[in-house]
Amino acid sequence: MKQKPGKLLRLPQVRERLGDIGKSTIWAWVASGRFPPPIKLGPRMSVWREEDVDKFIISIGQKEKTANKITNMKDGAYHE
């Protein structure tokens, strides 16, 4: 069974999904490996797979939950 190709997002759509983060921040994250690299469709056109952006957003939420648990444990106020 063939899988349907996912949606491709341009930079303005990616920024919107990330809470209007600046373009330069996104490109810095790409350069550092923190954010998935885009697919180059031409010399001046880059797109991201919607699935990759969604995975990144989910991973941030998981990291935040872990950081909050660690902070709460240090404060002696850990609650699941």
Domain coordinates in residue numbering, the chain: 8-74
pTM: predicted TM-score of the whole model, two decimal places: 0.74
- 25, pLDDT greater than 80: yes
Instruction: Tell me the pLDDT tens digit for each residue of 44-63.
Output: 999 999 999 999 999 988 77
What share of the chain in percent tops pLDDT 90? Answer: 65
Q: Which residue has the higher pLDDT, 17 or 74?
A: 17
- How remote is the C-alpha of 24 from its chain's centroid? 14
Helices (H), the chain: 11-17, 23-32, 50-74
d(CA 58, CA 47): 19
